[in-house]
Amino acid sequence: MRIIMVSGGEYGKRVVNTVAEHGFASSMVAVFEYPDETPEFLDDPSSLVPESVSDADLTVAAGLRGDLNLVAAEIAAKSGAESLIIESHTPTQLPDGLKNEIKSMFRGRIAFPVPFCSLEPSGDRYIDEFAERLGRPLLEIRSGARIGSVRVKRSAPCGSTFYIADELSGSAPEDAEILAGEKLHNYPCLASMDTDPGFGDTHLHIAGYLTREAVKRATGIPGAHGVVDPEVCQGYECGFLCRDVCPLVRLSHDTVTMGEHAVIDPFSCGACGRCVKECPYGAIELIEGQDYRS
């Protein structure tokens, strides 16, 4: 697979470095970097497209603001790429109107992960090959009383998962989820703390939920999470309002599912508490997690 990277700012540099250092160095045929001071609105985005663009299969854009994303789409089209990934980690970085412009310019498969660490395989050959290594964090943890080893099976594209994995070694498994959240902030995560109306939470919080989920699944300890009382839940009466307010469900994750009553995945739940506050029947409470290790 041949990859072109189009980046901007500190976040873009992080992604380029992670892509190069963790499995795709030989696949990168070009890197185009744009400075932070590039205006958000461009009279002629085409003027910033390089004259010479190598042939590629996938173009990945990270850390770009405003019309620079149109430049990335033009680069992708000029390269002959079949697939394009354009991330956003702030609510205003990639509005719907801009996405529609990008779709009109690039006829191949496009992924718009929000934030980048939510990227998963989607059925596209090149996006999936990238997302097998970089995207939604996935860990393998070996532990007893203490964590002995942490293997990163898939890292967030910014590289934070590798940093967190190193910090988890030697800690108690029951403390790992909270420690992972702290270390994500220390890295630091550069995602926005502004609430995104698309899912009712911040990009930074979503990144934290996904990071902690990877740790919880790897340790078998879900930590704090919502639990539905099936005797009290009247989901079909309220339209499963808990699903409507869950930021991870709004990002197409199966954190809350519907059956005879609502069911919350204890490992996916970020313990944000929105469902507890919004449930009209008081059927949901936050509890500390049971240790599911065998």
* CATH assignment of the domain containing 230: 3.30.70.20
Same domain, 100 and 121: yes
Q: What is the pLDDT of residues 25-60, one digit of tens each?
A: 999 999 999 998 899 999 999 999 999 999 999 999
- CA 129/CA 135 separation, integer angstroms: 11
Question: CA–CA separation, 228 vs 269, rounded Å?
Answer: 12
Residues 197 and 245 both lie in one domain: no
Q: Is residue 294 part of a domain?
A: no
CATH of the domain at 88: 3.40.50
Residue 29 placed within a domain: yes
**Is there a domain that residue 244 lies in?**
yes
Q: Report if residue 123 sits inside a domain.
A: yes
Are residues 124 and 143 both part of a single domain?
no
Question: What is the predicted pLDDT for the residue at 149?
Answer: 96
pLDDT on residue 292: 54
Could you tell me the residue range of the domain that residue 173 belongs to? 138-219
DSSP annotation of 232: T
* pLDDT average, residue stretch 165-193: 96
- In this structure, the answer to whether residues 164 and 58 fall within a common structural domain is no
User: What pLDDT sits at residue 289?
Assistant: 66
Check: CB of residue 195 under 8 Å from CB of residue 90: no
- Copy the structure tokens of residue 66: 């405003």
12 and 103 in a single domain? The answer is yes
**50 and 122 co-located in one domain:** yes
Residue 181 pLDDT greater than 80, yes or no = yes
Q: Looking at residue 177, what is its pLDDT?
A: 95
- Does residue 293 lie within any of the structural domains? no
Average pLDDT for 201-207:
97
**Whole-number Å distance between alpha carbons of 21 and 74:** 26
CATH classification of the domain holding 215? 3.90.1010
Question: What integer pLDDT is reported at residue 61 of this predicted model?
Answer: 98
Domain count of the fold of the chain? 3
Interatomic CA distance for residues 227 and 223, integer angstroms: 12
Average pLDDT (76-92) is 97
Q: What is the mean pLDDT of the chain?
A: 95
DSSP secondary-structure letter at 26?
G
* Helix or strand (DSSP H, E) at 109: strand 109-111
Residue 264, pLDDT score: 97
* pLDDT at residue number 23: 81
Residue 95 and residue 34 share a domain? yes
pLDDT at 293 over 60: no
CA-derived radius of gyration, the chain: 20
Asked if residue 186 has pLDDT above 80, the reply is: yes
Is 62 a residue whose pLDDT tops 80?
yes
Stretch 261-282: mean pLDDT: 96
In sequence order, which ranges of the chain are alpha helices (DSSP H)? 9-19, 68-79, 96-105, 125-131, 160-168, 176-186, 203-219, 235-238, 241-245, 274-278
Q: What is the pLDDT of residues 103-155, one digit of tens each?
A: 999 999 999 999 999 999 999 999 999 999 999 999 999 999 999 999 999 99
pLDDT at residue 291 is higher than 60: no
Sheet holding 83-86, edge to edge: 28-34, 3-8, 58-62, 83-86, 109-111
Cα–Cα dist 219/216, whole Å:
5
Rounded CA separation 92/41 (Å)? 13
| Distance between start and end Cα atoms, the chain | 40
Last residue of some domain: 77, 110, 131? 131
Classify 32 as helix, strand or coil: strand
What is the rounded distance in angstroms from the CA atom of residue 150 to the CA atom of residue 31? 31
Nearest Cα to Cα of residue 154 among 181, 130, 190: 130
User: Average pLDDT in the 180-186 region?
Assistant: 97
- Across residues 197-213, what is the average pLDDT? 96
Q: Which of 219, 235, 264 is the last residue of a domain?
A: 219
